[in-house]
Structure 1
């Protein structure tokens, strides 16, 4: 009997241990189930995206920035000059205000070899609506109300016509020398060479002593 009782006690201990272990397992499973249920029930945390900066807007009534007055440059004034006489390209030229006569002459191609530059003040300013006349050597420039003065740059220039340098047109500027006489002077100069004195003009056909005397004050060699 003692042996049977001992067997039952050992079996009862095993059942108690098994029961306690089962209860502990059930408790662990229950706790895990509750945790899982709570985790599923909680809503996900929303992550707020970083907001981009709002673009700058212009107020409807905001006035526009005014352009700087310094950026506006006044167009230079222009003057118009009619260039005539002993230049390579006579014509009407439009130049900026305060332009010197020297620049205008350059625009007109420069002086001809026959030009008398001593009668032109190259430092003078060009005048609007004027005539700039460049005389030939020995020629006095005609002056009118609309013509620009060609004031000599130095002392008073010699106004006499040079018999050895003047062409037929320049020779005709002398009172008493017409087209035919001017051609005779040029022909004589080409055949015999330059005049040594004004009196040598007597050797040209058509020029007598009286005529040469009258012309002497207007001629030179």
Structure 2
């Protein structure tokens, strides 16, 4: 398609057919964490860019939502882990309304995973262990950025970064009190596989009394 044709194509006309794979209730793992790990490994093996990028949706106590992309930093039977500034917009919203949703979209595999659950802070020891693994520049950035606060200019931000860099010159950078991890304990996880004619496969896991119920959803 030429540049001219691309520029005149309506957004409403943008579409493609999904036809790579299928997903059946009889084929999925009994535990959604195992199923997620299997899909994640396949996405990772496919060399997808930012395979651990996920959309995190939060809401205020009044129900006003907001979304952004964050990075998954761990998953196990306890839940899904990510890290951020506790004083950022997402941090404040999770503090007043500890319910959130995650969404992974691996377009080349025509797959999506949606996760819903309750969120809690990780222990300081856990956050500290992860913080020490981060590149030095990232640790300095955590101190320099008052995330989600308004800044007058890029220059102001860079000036603060230089000041923090000088402060910790030749020193170990400690974990800030306002920075750390969250754990999302999932109670609902949905796996979506694109299919022809928009007849997509949607297999959902829902937790009830510590057991996972598996069922199909209409596309």
TM-score range, shorter chain: under 0.3
Which one has more relative contact order, counting CA pairs under 8 Å at least 6 apart? 2
Normalising by the residue count of structure 1, what TM-score does the alignment of the two structures yield? 0.26
Larger Rg: 1
Structure that is richer in strand per residue: 2
